Amino acid sequence: MRLNIAFNILAISAGALMPLAFAPFHFYIVSIIAPTLILSLWAYSTPKQALLQGFLFGLGFFTVGVYWVYISVHDYGNAAILLALLITASLIVVLALFPALQGYLLTKFFPENNLRKFLLAFPASWVLFEWLRGWVFTGFPWLFLGYSQISYPLKGFAPIFGIYGVSFGAALSCGAIVSMFTIRKIIPIIFAFVILIFIWLSGGFLAQIDWTKTTGNPIKVSLIQGNISQPAKWQSGSLSLILLHYRNLTNKHWDSKIIIWPEAAIPAFRSQVGNYLEDLEKKAKQHNATIVTGILTENRQTKQYYNSMLAFGKNQSLYLKRHLVPFGEYPPLFPISELIMSTFDIPMSNFSSGAQQQPYFIAGNTPIAPSICYEVAYPSELLSFLPHAQLLINISDDSWFGRSIASAQQLEMARMRSLETGRYHLVCTNTGLTAIVNEKGEILAQAPPYQEFVLNGKVQPMSGSTPWVIFGHYLWFLIVILAIAVAKIEFIQ
């Protein structure tokens, strides 16, 4: 009884530590310690005990890691405290079910402690449940284990297998460590040690490969961090001041070929600001420049509204956001959620999704793979624009998160998208974190958060395809299926 209680305390503690492995903390060692600890507990637990331990691990993990959901719902959605707590707690409980089920199934189908369990079944199940978490109920692909490796050798697997391959490598490392301390036979210990060294050396080697190549000349860009507070943005009568604010900031940077404003920088429909856009477009054409901005778009015939990205100046392109934020941008489980959302005060919370296949987005002469805010968390969202696109652009309004860790977590995911695709990434946000990321996922320049700032720099268009761009999910999914299949073969002890 006391041992079970101790195991449960260790499980929730390991989960609570996990977010420290991610941005903005980057305590890398935690990304190995926490999964290693929960696997060690599962090694000596029944399926029912592992179910509870996995659930407690998830509670600790997501309570600390995504507490900022409460800030969005209460502080900016204006939901009552109890309702905001209920929504946040419900999300955390649902997310905690995934490690709970992983622990249950792992211990049920692999009750013996051997290499098959630790080196194959554990990393395969970890990645499979991360994928499910990013897909079930529209998904919440936040805090995948692989993101903690963005600055370390295992990141080398990202251009081949995507984020899931990096997570597999990290989980495999944890499995190897547990093997060495759990299986008390010299040959399995040596084998696990060799696997651990091999996976890290392989990742480091792969990280040195240039999967894509430069094309054309570097482009001068300006990313405008407007720093407009969320209440002020949607306040009646503030539109003209906001438009003037962005015009004034832009007028100082017409020497840039691409000027980017954040998500919903223009908090109005295109039809409402037509004259403003026309005047600004003339100015942009005079300087051979293109402005990319977040704006609202309406289809009057279908009475549908879209969160969109507009490029204008040298040419015009439009992208309609495809993956919407539940409750924030549309009512899931309609009409049940309509009752909940009626207690919120979220501007424009009934958007429609853009088509999955949309025309190529062009800024100046450069093909772009666009994403808006939350979409950057979904690894495959950009693939429909690749390999044609030569740059990535993400616009966001992270003021919804307040001064929480969410913005840093989101930038970490944007870095992984660069690494997966071999493209520079221009991340422009309202309040931060605005950054320029190179094709290796490294931050070249970053604006200070929570202040008005224009981030200038040069980016290099890239061409070619990483294996991830070519094959998408197929490679990592094949690895997972093979790992689970081989894990059932008895001769691997």
Tens of each residue's pLDDT in the chain, 493 residues = 677 899 999 999 999 999 999 999 999 999 999 999 999 999 999 999 999 999 999 999 999 999 999 998 888 777 889 999 999 999 999 999 999 999 999 999 999 999 999 999 999 999 999 999 999 888 899 999 999 999 999 999 999 999 999 999 999 999 999 999 999 899 999 999 999 999 999 999 999 999 999 999 999 999 999 999 888 888 888 999 999 999 999 999 999 999 999 999 999 999 899 999 999 999 999 999 999 999 999 988 888 999 999 999 988 999 999 988 775 665 555 455 555 555 555 555 678 899 889 999 999 999 999 999 989 999 999 999 999 999 999 999 988 888 999 999 999 999 999 999 999 999 999 998 999 999 999 999 999 999 999 999 999 999 999 999 999 999 999 999 999 999 987 644 4
Q: Partners of 426 in the beta sheet?
A: 393, 436
Identify whether residues 146 and 257 lie together within a single domain.
no
In terms of residue numbers, what domain contains 305? 214-465
- Which residue from 410, 348, 402, 406 is spatially nearest to 378, judged by alpha carbons? 410
Q: In 62-150, where do the E strands start and end?
A: none
Identify whether residues 157 and 293 lie together within a single domain.
no
Cα separation, 317 vs 309, in Å, equals 8
**6, HSE (Cβ side, Cα atoms, 13 Å):** 6
User: Given this model, what pLDDT does residue 345 score?
Assistant: 54
Identify whether residues 454 and 478 lie together within a single domain.
no
Identify whether residues 285 and 419 lie together within a single domain.
yes
Report helix, strand or coil for 443: strand
Identify whether residues 159 and 206 lie together within a single domain.
yes
Q: In 321-472, where do the E strands start and end?
A: 361-363, 366-372, 391-396, 425-429, 435-437, 443-446, 453-459, 462-463
Cα separation, 43 vs 117, in Å, equals 9
Cα separation, 403 vs 458, in Å, equals 28
Strand 290-299 and strand 258-260: the pairing is: parallel
Q: Of 373, 412, 428, 440, which one is the catalytic site residue?
A: 373
Report helix, strand or coil for 153: helix
Alpha helices in 66-80 (DSSP H): 68-70
The number of distinct structural domains making up the chain is 2
Which one-letter amino acid corresponds to residue 285? Answer: K
Read off the CATH number of the domain in which 290 is found.
3.60.110.10
User: Given this model, what pLDDT does residue 237 score?
Assistant: 83
Identify whether residues 158 and 25 lie together within a single domain.
yes
Q: Is 263 a catalytic residue?
A: yes
CB 142 within 8 A of CB 65: yes
Please name the residue that has the structure tokens 């978490």. 133
Establish if 119 belongs to a structural domain: yes
Cα separation, 255 vs 458, in Å, equals 12
Identify whether residues 416 and 295 lie together within a single domain.
yes
Q: Of 155, 174, 263, 375, which one is the catalytic site residue?
A: 263
State phi, psi for 102 to the nearest 5 degrees: -60, -50
Q: Of 321, 329, 381, 428, which one is the catalytic site residue?
A: 321
Establish if 92 belongs to a structural domain: yes
Identify whether residues 221 and 185 lie together within a single domain.
no
Q: Which two tokens stand for residue 483?
A: 């790992």
Q: Which two tokens stand for residue 272?
A: 């409402």
Which residues 6+ apart lie within 8 Å of 442 measured at CB? 415
Q: For residue 300, count CB atoms less than 10 angstroms from its CB and return exposed for 0-12, middle for 13-18, buried for 19 or more.
A: exposed
Establish if 493 belongs to a structural domain: no
Q: Partners of 307 in the beta sheet?
A: 296
The three-point CA angle 353-354-359 to 5° equals 170
Identify whether residues 281 and 419 lie together within a single domain.
yes
User: Given this model, what pLDDT does residue 251 score?
Assistant: 96
User: Given this model, what pLDDT does residue 99 score?
Assistant: 98
Identify whether residues 66 and 149 lie together within a single domain.
yes
State phi, psi for 405 to the nearest 5 degrees: -85, -5
Q: Is 321 a catalytic residue?
A: yes
Report helix, strand or coil for 119: helix
Strand 304-313 and strand 317-320: the pairing is: antiparallel
Establish if 50 belongs to a structural domain: yes
Establish if 492 belongs to a structural domain: no
In Å, how far are 38, 140, 395, 401, 476 from 428, measured between CA atoms? 37, 22, 5, 15, 30
CB 15 within 8 A of CB 37: no
Q: In 232-387, where do the E strands start and end?
A: 258-260, 266-269, 290-299, 304-313, 317-320, 361-363, 366-372
Please name the residue that has the structure tokens 């200038």. 456
Establish if 238 belongs to a structural domain: yes
- Which residue from 391, 493, 410 is spatially nearest to 65, judged by alpha carbons? 410
Identify whether residues 481 and 443 lie together within a single domain.
no
Q: Partners of 147 in the beta sheet?
A: none
Establish if 409 belongs to a structural domain: yes
In Å, how far are 91, 210, 355 from 332, measured between CA atoms? 14, 42, 18
State phi, psi for 330 to the nearest 5 degrees: -160, 155
Q: Is 174 a catalytic residue?
A: no
In Å, how far are 18, 119, 183, 446, 493 from 192, measured between CA atoms? 24, 8, 10, 40, 11
Cα separation, 372 vs 294, in Å, equals 8
Identify whether residues 323 and 362 lie together within a single domain.
yes
pTM of the model: 0.94
Secondary element (H or E) of residue 171: helix 163-182
Establish if 33 belongs to a structural domain: yes
Query: DSSP code of 71?
Result: I
